[in-house]
Structure 1
Amino acid sequence: MKNYVIIVAGGKGLRVGGDIPKQFRIIGKYPVLMHTIRIFYRYDPKIEIILVLPVSHQEYWKDLCKHYHFDISHRIADGGETRFHSVKNALQLVTETGLVAVHDGVRPFVSEKVITTTFLAASKNEAAIPVIKITDSLRKISPDGSSQAVPRSQYCIVQTPQVFGSKLLKQAYEQPFSENFTDDASVVEAMGNRINTVEGNTENIKITTPQDLLFAELLSHNV
């Protein structure tokens, strides 16, 4: 069974600040995306890596690869109007039956253990995602401004990679786009499929803000 990973890096990084999109910012000695690709390559050197980039970013990425002598094999798919459309474009490059992981390009600190566990769970159940527990208290805000406490034990924080059987994921992405599709699991769930969860890792942050970049720089010294 062939393994694929679709690494989605279509964001412009406006919340990070500066002119360079967050997926190309340097942490440690390399751009964020290179760290992300390397972790999946270490997990499985034979994995088919599909990188999703806006057309306007692709030449810049190729220049970065030359500059950093980055030679891990990967293919590039065109980014779409939304994340949904970006993943749908990338799925056209999935030509063999197997397992497909979809991962945020700006999550460079997912652990190999989490990748392994998620792929294994998907091999048994077709749909698996990593999650972590919520440690803060939660409150639900009503339209009138009032709020009430909700039990945090009933909620979790969702991460990537989210792994699915290739046939299932392709079928799910034939559905019309909906604003309710916040991640790949929500797309698959819309067809009535159960989503299985595995334990994620707390370092698997999604780099979004300048503070995230500072934390990522600290984490990069430990990988």
Structure 2
Amino acid sequence: MAVELPEAAILVAGGTGSRMQSEVPKQFIAIGGQPILMHTIRRFYEYNPQIKLVVVLPQNQIAKWQALCYTHVFEVKHEVVTGGATRFASVKNGLAAIKTSDGIVAVHDGVRPFVPVAIIKAAFAVAAEKGNAVVAVPLKESIRQVFKTKSKALDRSQFRLVQTPQCFRLPLFRRAYELPEEPTFTDDASVVERFGQKINLVAGSYDNIKITTPEDLLWAEVFLKSLG
């Protein structure tokens, strides 16, 4: 009988709201009457009420988040840690808050509030079996590679749009995050791949958008209403 591994999730929420054209950090903007980040946290709680939840925020946003939790009577248990100057540093800080020696950890964007619970479940399951799992979707549109004076069409079937969560066995993930930070580390998969690991893709969802612009916010409100 397989032993169930402890599970944790690091929710990275370091946005400022600049692309959203808002003075409110995007993870704190309300949709359906509550901050985006609360919706995101609930998805992981719905998946596993015992999961260890770590929220990574800039130092100057923590007091605001605590006030929002009080105002909205938000009682899903989670730990808040201070982020770093880069996403790599922020994930590393979140990882330090997880004390178990083994298990599965997911890293997820705090402004992806609509990730289906079934996809979270699939990513954790594949990571438990194969060491890692990265959620991704096929491209819907044609793409071209741009050079200085020309461009050329590429076969979009050979590419995927990478989403989160990205799940990893903890011992592997800790070792990968001992590497020096590099400019090519755009997500956690790139860090683990640099460590020499093959990345396993899991089918994602087009609903699992990252809310970054005013147009995304409009879509989010409509989508929430469609869920009832």
SS in 1 for 2:164: coil
Alpha-carbon distance, 1:53 to partner? 0.4
The correspondence of residues 1-223 of structure 1 with structure 2, limited to 5 A, is: 1-96=5-100, 97-142=102-147, 144-223=148-227
Aligned residues: 222
Deviation at 1:94, TM superposition (A): 1.2
State the percentage of identical aligned residues.
46
Secondary structure of the corresponding residue to residue 23 of structure 1: helix
Q: What is the CA distance between 1:17 and its match in structure 2?
A: 1.1
Normalising by structure 2, report the TM-score.
0.96
Note the alpha carbon deviations across 1:155-207, whole angstroms, 9 max, x for none: 01000000000111111111111110000000000011010001001100001
Q: 2: CA distance between counterparts of 1:181 and 1:8?
A: 15
Matches of 2:226 and 2:113, distance apart in 1:
12
In the alignment, residue 126 of structure 2 is paired with which amino acid? A
Q: Distance in 2 between matches of 1:79 and 1:221?
A: 32
Q: Which amino acid aligns with 1:63?
A: A
Deviations 1:17-57 (A, max 9, x none): 12100000000121000000000000000000000001100
Could you list the structure 1 runs, at least 4 aligned residues long, displaced by more than 2 angstroms after superposition.
none
Task: Measure the CA separation in 2 of the matches of 1:145 and 1:13.
Answer: 34
CA shift at 1:118, angstroms?
A: 0.5
Q: 1: distance between equivalents of 2:128 and 2:55?
A: 23
TM-score (norm 1): 0.98
Ranges in structure 1 where 5+ consecutive residues have no aligned partner:
none
Quote the Cα distance in structure 1 between the aligned partners of 2:194 and 2:70. 41
Render the CA deviation track for 1:52-92: whole Å, top value 9, x for unaligned: 00110000000000000000000011110000000001111
1:214 deviates by 0.7
